[in-house]
Amino acid sequence: MQAVKTELEGASQMHSKTTVRTAVAGVGGYAGGELARLLLAHPRLGETKPLFLGRVADNAASGSVPLEQIHPQLALGEGKRQPEIRAFSWELIREAGTEIVFMALPHENSREWAPEWLEHGVRVIDLSGAWRLDDAANRAVYKLHDKDAALAEKLQAEAVFGAPELHREAIAEARLVANPGCYATSIILALAPLVRAGLVDADHGIVCDAKSGVSGAGKAATAKTHFMYTADNLSAYAIFGHRHTGEMLEQLGLTAEQLQFTPHLLPIPRGILSTIYVRLAQRMEPEQIEACLRAFYAASPMVRVHATPELPQIQHVVRTNYIDLGFELNKDGKRLVIVSCLDNLLKGAAGQAVQNMNVMCGWDESEGLL
């Protein structure tokens, strides 16, 4: 009981801080690069630059590599240098006074290492899928193996799904925040207001058709993500087994029989457009749908609701942390099509992680993101 009290007191104390000491574990990928850019420019972190942790070659004499070497777009002029990427050590973490760590690591690494960070008193924002799913059947898609199953289950029950628009109060007090997947964010935030209001005939079936830019597949090239495959092409994949589907089901309270999610690969670098087809439980007017969306997201600065029949487009959200929502309602008042757009590397990953940090620290959740 005393340990729980201490943890809650620590979270409350963080709410009163004007800054926080952060670390990023796994800064090498696309999301890691965006996370570094956002944190380095964050107005609250000007005097407490993040500690960047990553793989450092054995022959690196200084035990570090320049951040600019991995992400040249972050280079500064006039001979100025960004903080270097350092080899991991707990001594380094303690010396830096780290209070929040962003884990941009493979799922299995995040599952293994998050408990250690928490044991050292560091709050965790995990960008992987390691802690997003409560249902073990849904989590099985990641093929995770826990060395201490009892501890893992305890932390899983404690983990908060990091969608501020849905779980703002819980995130504020959380030690372990599981950042949502990019596809999942685009679907969940589009449907949550209507599903929670009981306006959707879920048993009729919800069809989610989503398309993502290539960066969503990660930095390591594969046979299906290199230029010759993706250019001038559009392809569907993981039709009955995409790993983000479980997040949608759990957060929306739906069954696998009620929702069909089909992802597609677009020949563009970044961005997601999701088209969602639903049948309403009762006849409605467009003004009622728009009012439902606007009321639900009235206190959510990162959600922009379009007035029908204006629909979101990827080009309007790319390189921002906004998710844009729009819709059209058929003349019968029951067939509804919702369109959502976001940047998969920002609102779908790094930007949402920073948004979660802002909530955890009691700051304006859009700070450093506009």
All CATH 3.30.360.10 domain ranges of the chain, comma separated, are 182-342
Q: Quick one: which H or E segment has residue 25?
A: strand 22-25
Here the tokens at position 258 are 């009620």
Distance of alpha carbon 48 from alpha carbon 46, whole angstroms: 6
Q: What are the beta bridge partners of residue 128?
A: none
The CATH number of the structural domain formed by 182-342 is: 3.30.360.10
Q: Please tell me the pTM assigned to this model.
A: 0.93
All CATH 3.40.50.720 domain ranges of the chain, comma separated, are 2-179+350-360
Counting Cβ atoms within 10 Å, is residue 313 exposed (0-12), middle (13-18) or buried (19+)?
middle
Q: Are 89 and 25 in contact (CB under 8 A)?
A: no
Distance of alpha carbon 166 from alpha carbon 249, whole angstroms: 14
So which residues are the catalytic ones? 182
Here the tokens at position 97 are 């006074």
Sign of CA dihedral 105, 93, 149, 158: negative
CATH 3.40.190.10 fits 2-179+350-360, yes or no: no
Distance of alpha carbon 275 from alpha carbon 262, whole angstroms: 10
- With H, G, I as helix, E, B as strand and everything else as coil, classify residue 176: strand
pLDDT (tens place) for every residue of the chain, 370 residues total:
444 445 555 565 677 689 999 999 999 999 999 999 999 999 999 999 999 998 775 545 567 899 999 999 999 988 889 999 999 999 999 999 999 999 999 999 999 999 999 999 999 999 999 999 999 999 999 999 999 999 999 999 999 999 999 999 999 999 999 999 999 999 999 999 999 999 999 999 999 999 999 999 888 888 888 888 899 999 999 999 999 999 999 999 999 999 999 999 999 999 999 999 999 999 999 999 999 999 999 999 999 999 999 999 999 999 999 999 999 999 999 999 999 999 999 999 999 999 999 999 999 999 999 9
